[in-house]
Amino acid sequence: MEIHNKKQFLVSIKSKLILMMIGVAVIPLVFLVLISIRTLKTEVQKSIHKEHELTASKISQTVVEMVKTTQESLETIAITNPELFDWSNKFNREDIIYRMLKKYHHLEEISMISSKGMELVKISKRYAISPKELENISTDEKFKTLKRGDLYIGKPEIDLDNQIVFELGIPVGGDKEYLTGAIIAKISLRQVMKKINATKTKEGSYIILIDDRGSLIGHSDYSQVTRRQDVTKSKGVTSLLKIKTEEKNVLKYEKFETMIYESYLGEDVLGVYGLIPIVDWGVVVEQPLDNAYETIRLMITRIIITFLLTILTIGVVGSFLIYLFMKPMNELANGVNSVKSGNFDYKIPKQNNDEIGMVIEAFNSMTEEIKKRRENESLIMLAEKRAAIGTLAAGVAHEINNPMNNLSFYATDLLERLETEDINDLYDNNVIQNYLEIIKGQIDRCSAITQNLLRFSRESKVDITLVNVFKIIEDILKLMEHRLKKQNIDIVIDVGIAEPIILADESQMQQMLLNIITNAVDSMENKGILTINISEIDNNGFLILKIIDTGYGIKEKDKARVFDPFYTTKPIGKGTGLGLSISQAIIERMRGYIEIYSEENIGTEVEIKLPISRGVEENGKL
């Protein structure tokens, strides 16, 4: 009862009005809220990304300016003092290096290299270097780079003072054999670290500086640098390394990529990353999404509260208006249910003169008219029903005559065998079981015949399934095996397709084929040939079934009436004329065709065309 009430409510006008109210008022608000949240989220992300880009750009510029300043200073020294690489200018070299170290705080050490790769002088801010400690670096990779005339930038490392330093070398003079020498400076990133620490970022944000191999050389939390934190799991870092690999010779000036990804700490972050020109390092700025979306969550909460209050207001006002509208509609529905139950004396009270009031007035007039017609129709239907009872009773008796005869034959035969044979032998050889199964099948056939006769006069629910036509014919022939042998009828079956399967109601197919095959067998009283041919038409998608007999055929004057209900040429007690009528009705419901070709005293051919897969109408009935 509760489920029925729910279904009734779902199809009611009230539910439709509620849905209309939701569609008109609520859905636009939902879209507006979703668009607002999406826009807000996008704008916040853009703002954060813009700020992160600016931060990354500042760090990148700091590194680039430091490297360029050092490079330009070293090149200026080399150009203005070409004699520094002579062995006799030792004191002049040391004086210039001391002045350079004093002027630039980020320089930790400077060395001058001869054209042969021998260190002419090396001076450090942190410790004294004796002439004995000078080395020959001619076989080092950095000297080979300088000898080619290229700028050398070494790998950043942590020195004894726990600060990141790297080497910057410039060639002096021409390349290869024309190389005069080189100057190599060791640069500290202390200035860059101060810039990172001094940069104001969003809450929870941090800055990562990596070298060309992905090693951490700078961080907002410098302790992560000293303990050599692995940051390569960050997608920003891996993307940087990928860019470096794919665009090895391309410098990216002030171009940063933004994305949402998982950081090396395993949390989702809003990240910005980009390559630093000249040094080919990378800078990454990351902020956890929880911190980034804190403002968004607060604003979304406010939007949702406002949205719920608006929906509540709309719901209260809408419910009241729906109640006013539905009151006369409910009265009309009660009247319809009352008339549906047979109470044609029910009158719906009219309250207003609007459109609903006009419907109520028309409804009351209609019930009066229906009441009068029902009284007249009852008398007519009673007369028609009494007239059809006698005819249908004769038809049912004839249709079940064959299976009843089979029942009598098998029951009598079984009784005779029980008298002459050992019951245990009959049981062991499954004779009794086979006989009982045949008897049960005949009883089921009687039931099916009765149901099919009823279907001719009224529609009944069908069960559409995949049906094997050959299997049905095979079952029918097995059922009629005794009769076929008795009448000396030979069977010829020609199946032109592997599986003659169609969509149909199996019970109706059984009845239709049984009727037509029975007619064919009835026409061959003493001897004959029953031919069954199954083939397929590919173009139209029809299954072609032909049932051909060599019986007495159909007279010319009877051909026009073979499908008429209750018309038969058989003797009284052997036919009611319902067989072909029922068969034609079944075939037409399946959107098929039936044709009969016959010549008197030669035989009859029944051709049936059935759609292979289109035998189901839109409503699911044949």
Q: How far is CA 490 from the centre of its chain?
A: 57
Q: How far apart are CA 490 and CA 488, in angstroms?
A: 7
Q: How far apart are CA 11 and CA 16, in angstroms?
A: 7
Q: How far apart are CA 192 and CA 166, in angstroms?
A: 13
Whether 398 shows a pLDDT value over 60: the answer reads no
Is 290 or 64 the better-scoring residue by pLDDT?
Answer: 64
Q: Specify if 369 maps to a domain.
A: no
Written as six digits, the tokens of 480 are 């009629």
Report the pLDDT value the prediction gives residue 365, as an integer from 0 to 100.
78
Q: In this structure, are residues 534 and 469 in contact, taking their beta carbons and an 8 Å threshold?
A: yes
HSE of 459, CA atoms in CB hemisphere, 13 A: 4
* 7 burial via Cβ count (<10 Å: 0-12, 13-18, 19+): exposed
The last residue of a domain, from among 177, 200, 223: 200
Q: How far apart are CA 65 and CA 73, in angstroms?
A: 12
pLDDT, average across residues 576-599: 80
Report the pLDDT value the prediction gives residue 384, as an integer from 0 to 100.
36
Whether 572 shows a pLDDT value over 80: the answer reads no
**Residue 244 sits in the same domain as residue 292:** yes
Q: Specify if 359 maps to a domain.
A: no
Whether 491 shows a pLDDT value over 80: the answer reads yes
The last residue of a domain, from among 171, 200, 229: 200
Q: Specify if 579 maps to a domain.
A: yes
**Which residues touch 350 (CB under 8 Å, ≥6 apart)?**
357, 360, 361, 364
Q: How far apart are CA 107 and CA 104, in angstroms?
A: 6
Whether 244 shows a pLDDT value over 70: the answer reads no
Written as six digits, the tokens of 34 are 């979703």
pLDDT tens-digit readout, 507-544 = 778 878 888 888 888 888 888 999 999 988 766 678 89
Range of lowest pLDDT (18-22, 43-47, 62-66, 79-83): 18-22
Whether 389 shows a pLDDT value over 50: the answer reads no
Written as six digits, the tokens of 314 are 């709309």
**Residue 572 sits in the same domain as residue 534:** yes
Greatest alpha-carbon span in the chain? 145
**Residue 141 sits in the same domain as residue 60:** no
Report the pLDDT value the prediction gives residue 431, as an integer from 0 to 100.
78
- What does the DSSP 8-state code read for residue 551? S
Report the pLDDT value the prediction gives residue 614, as an integer from 0 to 100.
44
**Residue 335 sits in the same domain as residue 271:** yes
Q: In this structure, are residues 608 and 545 in contact, taking their beta carbons and an 8 Å threshold?
A: yes
Phi and psi at residue 405, to the nearest 5°? -65, -40
Whether 247 shows a pLDDT value over 60: the answer reads no
Q: What is the 3-state secondary structure (H, E, C) of 270-297?
A: EEEEEEECCCCEEEEEEEEHHHHCHHHH
Q: Where do runs of H (alpha helix) occur along 232-347?
A: 235-246, 289-292, 294-340
Nearest to 73 by CA among 159, 211, 170: 170
Please calculate the CA angle 14-19-23 and round it to the nearest 5 degrees.
145
pLDDT tens-digit readout, 178-237 = 788 899 999 999 888 888 888 887 778 899 999 888 899 999 888 888 888 999 888 888
Q: Specify if 376 maps to a domain.
A: no
**Residue 121 sits in the same domain as residue 179:** yes
Whether 422 shows a pLDDT value over 60: the answer reads yes
**Residue 51 sits in the same domain as residue 132:** no
Q: Specify if 448 maps to a domain.
A: yes
* 308 burial via Cβ count (<10 Å: 0-12, 13-18, 19+): exposed
Report the pLDDT value the prediction gives residue 204, as an integer from 0 to 100.
82
Q: In this structure, are residues 110 and 186 in contact, taking their beta carbons and an 8 Å threshold?
A: yes
**Residue 128 sits in the same domain as residue 221:** no
Whether 575 shows a pLDDT value over 60: the answer reads no
Amino acid identity of 597? Y
Q: What is the 3-state secondary structure (H, E, C) of 502-519?
A: EEEEHHHHHHHHHHHHHH
Report the pLDDT value the prediction gives residue 394, as an integer from 0 to 100.
47
Report the pLDDT value the prediction gives residue 531, as an integer from 0 to 100.
93
* Partner residues linked to 268 by β-bridges: 262
The last residue of a domain, from among 341, 373, 402: 341
Whether 588 shows a pLDDT value over 90: the answer reads no
pLDDT tens-digit readout, 468-481 = 888 888 888 877 77
Residue whose tokens read 């002088």: 121
Residue whose tokens read 């030792």: 90
Residue whose tokens read 């439709």: 16
* Strand-pair category, 489-495 with 528-537: parallel
Q: How far apart are CA 123 and CA 342, in angstroms?
A: 116
Q: How far apart are CA 137 and CA 622, in angstroms?
A: 96
Residue whose tokens read 């026409």: 523
Number of domains in the chain: 3
**Residue 464 sits in the same domain as residue 536:** yes
pLDDT tens-digit readout, 60-98 = 889 999 999 999 998 888 888 777 777 666 667 888 888
Is 380 or 129 the better-scoring residue by pLDDT?
Answer: 129
Report the pLDDT value the prediction gives residue 350, as an integer from 0 to 100.
67
- What does the DSSP 8-state code read for residue 568? -
Q: How far is CA 47 from the centre of its chain?
A: 35
Percent of the chain with pLDDT over 90: 10
Amino acid identity of 524? M
Is 360 or 156 the better-scoring residue by pLDDT?
Answer: 156
Confidence of residue 577 (pLDDT cuts 50, 70, 90): low
Report the pLDDT value the prediction gives residue 351, as an integer from 0 to 100.
66
Q: How far apart are CA 107 and CA 110, in angstroms?
A: 8
Identify the domain containing residue 135 by its residue range.
Answer: 81-200
**Residue 254 sits in the same domain as residue 272:** yes
Q: In this structure, are residues 487 and 519 in contact, taking their beta carbons and an 8 Å threshold?
A: no
Phi and psi at residue 316, to the nearest 5°? -65, -50
**Residue 173 sits in the same domain as residue 237:** no
* 44 burial via Cβ count (<10 Å: 0-12, 13-18, 19+): middle
**Residue 156 sits in the same domain as residue 261:** no
Whether 609 shows a pLDDT value over 80: the answer reads yes
Q: What is the CATH number of the domain that holds 55?
A: 3.30.450.20
Q: What is the CATH number of the domain that holds 460?
A: 3.30.565.10
Whether 176 shows a pLDDT value over 50: the answer reads yes
Q: Specify if 348 maps to a domain.
A: no
**Residue 131 sits in the same domain as residue 190:** yes
Q: How far apart are CA 502 and CA 303, in angstroms?
A: 59
Q: In this structure, are residues 283 and 300 in contact, taking their beta carbons and an 8 Å threshold?
A: no
- Reduced to 3 states (helix: H, G, I; strand: E, B; else coil), residue 209 is strand
Phi and psi at residue 501, to the nearest 5°? -110, 135
pLDDT tens-digit readout, 317-360 = 777 777 766 767 777 777 777 776 667 677 777 666 666 677 77
Q: Specify if 357 maps to a domain.
A: no
Q: How far apart are CA 351 and CA 339, in angstroms?
A: 20
Amino acid identity of 73? S
Residue whose tokens read 């004057």: 557
Q: Specify if 375 maps to a domain.
A: no
Flag whether the pTM goes above 0.75: no
Mean pLDDT of the chain: 78
pLDDT tens-digit readout, 206-221 = 999 998 888 999 998 8
Q: How far apart are CA 440 and CA 403, in angstroms?
A: 10
pLDDT, average across residues 380-393: 40
Q: What is the 3-state secondary structure (H, E, C) of 420-467?
A: HCCHHHHHHCCHHHHHHHHHHHHHHHHHHHHHHHHHHHCCCCCCEEEE
DSSP 101-141: HHH-TTEEEEEEEETTSBEEEEEESSS---GGG--B-TTSH
- Reduced to 3 states (helix: H, G, I; strand: E, B; else coil), residue 156 is coil
Nearest to 101 by CA among 127, 119, 80, 132: 127
Is 297 or 344 the better-scoring residue by pLDDT?
Answer: 297
